[in-house]
Structures are given as structure tokens and as C-alpha cells.
Structure 1
Amino acid sequence: MTSQCIEAKPGSGRIGIVHLGLGAFHRAHQAVYLERYRQRSGDVDWGVCSANLRSSIGLVDDLVAAGYRYHVAEYADSQHFALREIGVIEEALFTGRDSAGNWGRDREALLARMASADTRIVTLTVTEKGYFLNPASGDLRSDDPMIAGDIASPRQPRTAPGLLVEALARRHEAGIAPFTVLSCDNMPDNGKRTRQAVVQLAEHRDPALARWIANDVAFPCSMVDRIVPAMTDADFERLAALGVNDANAVVCEAFSQWVVEDCFPMGRPSWEAEGVEMVADVAPFETMKLRMLNGSHSLLAYLGALAGIETVFDGVNQFDLRALLRRYMLEEAAPTLDMPDGVDLTGYADSLLERFGNDSLRHRLQQIAMDGSQKLPQRWLTGTLARANAGQASPCVALGMAAWIRYTVGEDLLGNGYTLDDPMAKRFAELHCKHGLDAAALVTAFLAMDDIVPSGLAADSAFTKAVHTFYQTLIQDGLAGALAVLERS
């Protein structure tokens, strides 16, 4: 076994970045880049205040108890890894709801930190649903109860957009230049979509504030890539065998990529020295990753989960599923991309399959399957609409849509139940209840949801017919039958 152990560099307590979304991905991606930057440069001015906005108060308290230090194990495979200690987080806060039902324990401390002139960048990993945007139109869901609460009580925000609006309002009132807002979530044009959410929410409060945000606040786009599965007992046991007993540890793959639009009026760390690609236009790389990596992940997640397959590793090592992913990437995703010269999409697809086959990771398909309503428009449907408009079929996506619709039942093809984790879960349950065993009506109803499925794609008879056919086949003949139909298409 080949390993490398790297200790964290002591910090100074100086905080220049606030991060919203203290989850595993942030700790294994952005924080690692910043720790490496600190190690190399000796620049300690970019410490991080990380805030958890949801329910994991334990993670915040555990990090505080550990002096804000934790470990990241980066695995190339089960025999080759690097173990890093991360110390770049200087403060951890909690603004969600605690076990007693109370909101915002550290909200005022977080807002004060964001409003401080020392804070020059605010980054986010709050998942697609944390922006409260309509997946199809990109508009703010002002009728969502959380957003409605922020509109009614703007100085006690509960959402990421609400926190950004309140902090920017405080800076505006104090005459302090705005921080840069950097989304690190898997959304197309994530900077533009973040701006949309923040500006539209600010319009409910003060049109002049909204105009200032729209004109003066930088919202660069970014693309992030690193596979970071949820931790399992086996992961903690593996680390304990190495002498690491760390409740906050994260296991991830060795590969990591970060592409960032270089627009930081208040300054930034010299990330490029650590391999971050600072570019003028992130869009081609962002779309490539969303449609090829994330799109194939979702395809495997819904088909695999229905068949009782637990992990990406288990799924990609089944010949038929591996062939499906490669076909989808090269025949349906890659042709929709407009990449700079020199980008080898065939090589990229093959590298993704190799990464999916990393035997050191247990990336659960149920984790990837979460929040499908928020993910599928950018991962599958936008590109599929472009293909439909050009008269081109997308049978892999049609199969994926059929699998997703069947997945929303909350029970796999073997009869095993699971909890459907999606902000539209209640709506899906109502559709299943209404249409019962009428598969054709059910599929039609799902495809008619224009806040998920583009209306032009729902109106494409060839695509809708393919989804209907695959749904019926999944029910009658299971995954093997559906893959056989796909092979003939």
C-alpha cells in the first residue's frame, strides 16, 4: 500500500472567505485547494468561515471541538492514497434548525462575518435545490415556504439567497464594496443562476438594492469535479486502521478539477498555482461535466437503484451498464457540446468510466439519485431538446427518464422500499396516486411537468413514445429487458 501523509499548515485566524454549505464536498474540494495554497505560498490571509445552513449541527460542533482540523483521504485506488490534514477552516457556524426546532443559532455571527470588509469572497455548495430556482426557467420560486419566509422577514434569512441579500444589504448601507459570490454547485451558468436568485429575492425587498447587486456584485461561474461519496462505517474503519480517528474525515477520489471564471474585483488566492484553471469562459467545461459525468451518473443511479445495485463501482462493472454509459456519453451527450480545440471527448468519456471503477470508493446510487427534479434538466433534458430539434433521437435519455419516473414510486423493481429524497416528492406521490396502474397516463403526466421537462421536448412525439415504451418494458421485463430494447434502437 502506497500512502502519503500531509499535515495542515497553522493558520492565523484571518478569514477572507465565507462558505455556505459545510458538507463533504466543500471539505474535500475547495478547502483542499486552499490548504495546498497555504502550504505552498505561506499566505494565511484566506482562512475560511464555513457555515452549515441545514440540519447537521453535529458536524459544526465536532469541527469546533477538533480545533477546525480534519482529514481528507484521497484514493487513486484501494492501494494508493494520500492523507491530508486540513486546517484552513478557521470558524464553523450553524444557521439551520436544531433538535428543539429553533432556527439560526449562529445566523447573526454569520451575517456579521459576511458583512465584514475582511470578507472578499463568499462561496457556495448548497446543492441545486438550495437556490430555490425553477429547474426549467431559472426563476426564483418566490412561493416556496422558505423563500416566502425570507421575503416576509428579510433580516432573519434562512436560505442561502436570503443570507446573501441581507449581507450585501448591510455592506451597501455601510458603504463597503461587495464581496464576490462564487457558486461551486453543479448547475449550468451557476454564477448567472445565483445572480438571478439573489437579484430576484432582493427585488422583493428594495428595487434599488437589487439594481446595485445586479450591477456591482461579481458572480463568476465555476465548474467543480471530484467524486466525494457519503461516508460509511467502512470508511471510518479503514481510516481508523491507519490511526485516524476523525469524525469529520472525508474519503474521496484522487482526481480533482476546478475551472473558474476569473472575475474577482476584491482579489482572490493564486489558485492557479494549485492547478485551478482560471479562464474567461467556464461554460464549455461546465456543460461537458454536467452532461457527461453528472448525466451518466444519474443514468446509472436510476437504472441501478431500480435493479437493487448499491454503488457506482458495482454498476459500472456490469458490462451492459458500462456499455450504456459509454454510448450515452459519446452518442447523445458529446455531440451536443461545443468544446475548445484539443479537448478529446472520447478520452474524457473513457477517463470517467475509469474513475467510476475506482475500487476504493463506495458512492451509493441512492445518494446520486437525490433531487432528480432539480438535476435532470441540465444533465439530460437541455441537450436532449437540442437533439430533438435537430431530428436526432436520444434513446439512452428516454430510458433514463423512464427509470427516473419509475424510481419516484419509492420502491425498486425487486419490491424493496426506500425514501424518495426530492423537493417535489409530494407532487410525485400525488401523480402516482392519481394514475395508479395506468402507465401511459402516468408517463404523460410526468412529461407534462414543464418546470422540469422543457415543453418542446414533451411535445416531441418520438421522444415521448420512447419514454412510454421503456417505462412499460421496465415494468414488464425489468432492467435486462429494457437494456435489450435499447440495444436494438
Structure 2
Amino acid sequence: MKLHTDALGALESRIARPGYDRASLTPGIVHVGLGNFHRAHQAVYLDDLFAKGLDHDWAICGAGVRAPDGRMREALAAQDYLSTVIELDPSGARPRVIGAMVDFVEVDPDNGPLIARMSDVATRIVSLTVTEGGYYVDATTGTFDPTHPDIVADGASPDTPKTVFGAIVAALKTRRAAGLPPFTVMSCDNIPGNGAVTRDAVAGTARLSDPDFAQWIEANVAFPNSMVDRITPATGEGERALAREFGLDDPVPVTCEPFRQWVMEDSFPQGRPRLEEVGVTFTDHVHDYERMKIRILNGGHAIIAYAGALLGCTFADDAMAHPLVSAYLRKVETEEILPHVQPVPEFTPPGYLTLIEGRFANPAVKDTIRRLCLDGSNRQPKFIVPSIADGLRKGTSITGLALESALWCRYCAGTFEDGTVIEPNDPSWEALTALAAEARETPAAWLTQRAVYGEIQGDARFEESFATWLDMIWSQGAQRSIETYLNG
């Protein structure tokens, strides 16, 4: 059955559907980046809220600034902006149809329709999932890069911007000229201090064409920090086939684990939906939650990813079932990551580790190791290197994390241990492969990546440990190296 509002009543009884009249919804949020994570996370929370009969003026209007966003718009418009979300519980899949989105702005190269929708008085929040790498952060400095060609182009042509940040600037300027208050800009991307990073990107883009307006943005626009969490695999033919098992003809279904979490600062001058009614935590201590999640979960993904890949694992649950990988994860986390993480009201660090071990091991999710290995050049400096830096500062162990970094280097050499080619899996794959080949003879060459290793670059203790592991991985293999680490 093709999804459509009028067809919801004919769905199989085992498929949950919107518990509200979609005709009562009006958009209050423009969301840029309609990937799987947004539709399994923010859209689900709002769907739950609307089912309580609350805040029907906070529905989502989708938006995008890239060609794939246009294809997603076509797919969702054809099914009345409904999404299939299938929760993958070990006891069985739980399908539901989400109805929180009611429109999707036309995707245009100059972003005119997007600017107009964000300028509308009904828009009070603009939210983003544009990926960790979509914020134009200079990997070397860790700050916004105003020299990036995309940003320079927006500075030169602020009325026809190509980036989401240029479009936000244009919309905020239009609203100010019309006497309308600014909307709140809410990042839902998995980056440390995502609100502050977004503020820097928006104000930094504005500064190129109007420095005074950039100051106005910094003084008047809210950019709440948030922490988001839900494991959401990429969609392929297997996910589409699963949707068909429930009688749903959906070209873009979403699968996800049952667990979800959302923690935010309560900084919404133009109001917000009452998301606390459906489990969202509002707190002034987002960074404590963020550190726990990014260090233990995202860092944990990296730990099992490269070890699992080199040991022949296909999925995350395969890696967790491998005695060496699961033991490696627990030892590194316990000895080298947890000591630098503070508890939050809901979890102690050891308790959170136990939770994520169970989530990683969920046999229903089938999150691929390849996805977890993706974009290491952008993820390592956020998820792994900060724990190494803490260990170096405090004089605690960094041995297992140095091994993780060496396993990443070996993976980037571009072949598995049996000689099978690893298909490119990083925006900088060609450069990484060349550097990994050089590092085979000269391990220090890998550590010249200032954008990755930052403040720990040149640290003798880390360099020595990394070199030892990389030499062992090349000479004796990943399995023997992990066994050596586990045996102390």
C-alpha cells in the first residue's frame, strides 16, 4: 500500500499510525536535512506529542539545500509527507507511520523558497541535521572557517545564498526588516557544543557581508545546545523489503533501535513545543550528557568499527559477538574513557557503558561496520582524540586508544588483511590511503594530520604507543595486536 493520509485507516492493525487529525496541524518548525536520523528522532517525538493532543501548531516543514534533498522531497511529497519508522527490537520489529511533517519547501539553488518559509511569522524554530561535517569547521583550528569557498560565495552574494547558513542569515535579515522576532536555530547534529558551533557558522557567514548584522545575530538569536541519540542505520533494499513485509510501499523507510534520547537547553524566546511531555530532558547541563554520549557511545562505535572491520565483522552485533572486539571495547572504555566522564542524573558512566553494549549488540538493528567506519577523518578528532588528550594530561592510560588509532590507520591503507580492497569510505580517502602507506614504514607520518590530532600532535608518549601498535598490526595482524593489548 502506498502511504497517504486517506489510506491510514486501511493499514494493518500491527502498524501504529498518527493518533491525531493531521488536518489540525500547522507548521511551526522548518527542519533542514530530512535524513533518517531526523525522521527517527525529532519527528517521532513530535508525533508522540501531537498524539497527546498538544501543540498542533508545531508541525514540521521539511527543507534542504542539496540535490539529494530534492529527491527526498519528491519521495515524501508522493506519500503526503508520511514516514515509515520501524523500531528494531530483538523481540520483533515494531512499525509505525509518522505524520509530524506537513510540507516540504521546494529545493532551489538560490534558496529563495527556503528563505521565504523561514521568514514567515509562523516559523519560530529552524532546526538542522546537516551532518557533523556540514558546519564548515576548520579541522585544524576547530572553529568556523570563513574562507571556505561556499561561505565566501555566500558573503559575496548574500541575497542568493547556497548554504543553509547563508539562507538563515537572509531570512533573519528579512524578519528584522519586517519587524518580526528572530526564530530559534536548533542544531540536532551530533557535534560537541552544537548550538555554539551553529551560532558561529551563522554569525560568521553574516560577518562577510554585514558585520553589524553579525553582531545583532550574536546578541539576539537563540542557539540552544542539545544532545541527540538514536542508532539509525542507512536505508537500503533490506529496509525497503522489511517495510513491504508490513504491506507498506515506501521507498524511503527508516529503521532504528528502540532507544532514543534528547537533551536540550531551554532557550526558545519564541516558544517551543512541550517536548518534556514526551521524554525530552531540558537542562543547563547538556555538556555533561553530551560528553557521556560522545565519548562512550560514539567513541565506542569507533573502537568496535576498525577492530571489527579488520577481523571480518559485517555488522555491529557481529563485532559485539566477537570475544576479542567486545573485550577490547570494555577494557578501553573502562580504563581510558570512563575516568574522564561525569555522571548525569539518569546514568553513571559504568551504567551507561552497560546500556550501550546492549544497544551495540542488538541483533535486529544490523548497523553495518562500514557505516561506523565512515568519515573517520571527521569523527576521530571529535570522538576519540579528546579522551586521549585527557589521558595524556592526567597521566592515565592511553594504550588502547592508541591501538584504536593504529587500527584506523591500517583500515585506511585500503585493503583488508586478506588483500581484499576496501572501497573508499572517507571524503579524504585518497589522501588517507597515501598517508597510511607512508606510515607503514614511518608511523609518525600518520600523526602529521593536524586536523585530526590537534593538541596531542607531537606528544612522545602517544606517538610511541601508536608506532608500536601500528608496527605490530602490519607484522602480526589485528587479531594478535588486540590479544596483546587484552593480555596487558
Matched-pair identity in %: 35
Indicate which of 76, 79, 88 corresponds to 2:89. Answer: 76
Partner Cα distance (2:33, 2:439) in 1:
41
C-alpha displacement of 1:31: 0.3
Cα separation, partners in 2 of 1:179 and 1:341, compared to 1, 3 Å: closer
Match of 1:64 in 2: 77
Distance in 2 separating the partners of 1:144 and 1:224: 27
Query: Which of these residues, 357, 365, 378, is aligned with residue 361 of structure 2?
Result: 357
Q: CA deviation at 1:106?
A: 7.8
1:134-283 aligned within 5 A: 134-135=138-139, 137-283=141-287
Match of 2:448 in 1: 448
Residues 342-386 of structure 1 deviation map (CA, whole Å, 9 limit, x = unaligned): 632212111111111111111112112222222112211112112
Q: 2:101 aligns with which of 82, 89, 101?
A: 89
| Partner SS for 1:6 | coil
- Aligned-residue RMSD, C-alpha: 2.0
The structural deviation recorded for 1:388 is 0.1
Cα distance, 1:129 vs structure 2: 0.7
Write the distance in 1 (CA, Å) between the matches of 2:164 and 2:333.
33
**Aligned partners of 1:400, 1:53: CA distance in 2, in Å?**
35
Amino acid at match of 2:477: G
Q: Does 1:464 align with 2:463?
A: yes
Give 1:319 deviation, angstroms.
0.9
Cα distance change, pair 173–334 in 1 and its aligned pair in 2 (3 A): same
Give the residue type in structure 1 aligned to 2:16.
Answer: I
Q: What whole-Å deviation, never above 9, does each CA across 1:156-206 have from its counterpart, x for those lacking one?
A: 222232222222222223232111111111111111111112222211111
Q: Which amino acid aligns with 1:67?
A: D
Contact (CA 8 Å) 2:27, 2:122: kept in 1 or not?
A: yes
Letter in 2 for 1:401: S
Contact 1:440 1:468 in 2 (8 A): no
Q: Counterparts of 2:345 and 2:246 in 1: how far apart (Å)?
A: 44
Cα distance, 1:235 vs structure 2: 2.3
Change in 2 beyond 3 A, CA 1:213/1:247: same
Q: 2:16 aligned with 1:15, yes or no?
A: no
Instruction: Name the residue aligned to 2:440.
Output: 439
What are the within-5 Å matches in structure 2 for residues 396-415 of structure 1? 396-415=400-419
Q: Which moved more, 1:137-146 or 1:17-26?
A: 137-146
In 2, are the aligned partners of 1:262 and 1:278 still within 8 Å (CA)? yes
Aligned to 2:45: 33
Alpha-carbon distance in structure 2 between the residues aligned to 1:410 and 1:146 = 30
Identify if the C-alpha distance between structure 1 residues 250 and 341 changes in structure 2 by more than 3 Å, giving closer, same or farther: closer
Aligned mates of 1:114, 1:4 — CA distance in 2: 37
The answer to whether the 8 Å contact 1:76/1:255 transfers is no
Residue in structure 2 matching 1:422, options 426, 449, 458: 426
| 1:190-228 Cα shifts (integer Å, max 9, x gaps) | 111111122222111111111011111111111111110
Q: Which runs of 5+ in 2 are unaligned?
A: 1-12
Residue 394 of structure 2, aligned match among 366, 390, 393: 390
Distance 1:292 1:170, change over 3 A: same
Change (3 A) 1:361 1:340: closer
Where 1:451 maps in the other structure, the secondary structure is: helix
1:135–1:373 contact (8 Å) kept in structure 2: no
Q: Deviations over 1:312-361 (max 9, x none)?
A: 11111101101111122221111111234663221211111111111111
8 Å Cα contact 2:32/2:127 also seen in 1: yes
Task: Report the alpha carbon displacement of residue 233 of structure 1 after superposing the two structures with TM.
Answer: 1.8
AA aligned to 1:449 is: Q
Once the two structures are TM-superposed, the CA of residue 284 in structure 1 deviates from its matched residue by 0.3
Partner of 2:3: none
Tell me by how many angstroms 1:309 deviates: 1.9
Q: 2:116 aligns with which of 112, 117, 126?
A: 112
Show the counterpart of 1:6: 16
The answer to whether the Cα contact below 8 Å between 2:29 and 2:127 also exists between their aligned partners in 1 is yes
Query: Residue 64 of structure 2: which of 52, 71, 81 is its match?
Result: 52
Amino acid at match of 2:440: A
Structure 2: distance between partners of 1:446 and 1:225: 31
2:135 matched to which residue of 1?
Answer: 131
Q: What's the offset of the Cα at 1:429? A: 4.5
Deviation digits for residues 5-43 of structure 1 (CA, Å, limit 9, x no counterpart): 321231445210011111000011000001110111243
453 and 94 in structure 1: CA distance in 2 versus 1, 3 angstrom threshold:
farther
Please report the TM-score for the alignment, with normalisation by the length of structure 1.
0.92
What corresponds to 1:312 in structure 2? 316
Residues 249, 383 of structure 1: alpha-carbon distance in 2 compared, 3 angstrom cutoff: same
Letter in 2 for 1:439: R
Aligned residue for 1:259, secondary structure, equals strand
Compute the displacement of 1:105 (Å).
5.0
Tell whether the 8 Å contact from 1:68 to 1:87 is kept in structure 2 after alignment: yes
Matched to 2:483, the amino acid is A
**Which amino acid counterpart does residue 65 of structure 1 have in structure 2?**
A
Query: How many angstroms apart in 2 are the aligned matches of 1:43 and 1:352?
Result: 33
> Is the alpha carbon distance of 1:94 and 1:332 closer, same or farther for their aligned partners in structure 2, counting shifts above 3 Å?
farther
Secondary structure (helix, strand or coil) at the match of 2:185 reads strand
Which range moved further: 398-407 or 28-37? 398-407
Is the 8 Å Cα contact of residues 414 and 433 (structure 2) preserved in structure 1?
no
Whichever residue aligns with residue 453 of structure 1, its letter is Y
In structure 1, stretches of 5+ residues that fail to align are 96-103
Amino acid at match of 1:19: H
Per-residue CA deviations over 1:453-479 (Å, capped at 9, x if unaligned) read 123x12221111111111122222222
Q: Residues 238 and 453 (structure 1 numbering): CA distance in 2 closer, same or farther, change over 3 Å?
A: same
| 1:291–1:333 Cα contact (<8 Å) kept | yes
Q: Give 3-state SS (helix, strand or coil) of 1:84's partner.
A: strand
Measure how far apart 1:486 and its partner are. 1.3
Q: Are residues 220 and 437 of structure 1, via their aligned partners in 2, closer, same or farther at CA, if it must alter by over 3 Å?
A: closer
> Would the aligned equivalents of 1:51 and 1:110 in 2 still touch at CA under 8 Å?
yes
Q: How many residues align?
A: 473
**Matched-pair contact (CA < 8 Å) for 2:188–2:228:** yes
Measured at CA, do residues 426 and 54 of structure 1 come closer, stay the same or move farther in structure 2, by a change above 3 Å? Answer: farther
Give the direction of change, closer, same or farther, for the CA distance of 1:341–1:273 in structure 2 (3 Å limit).
closer
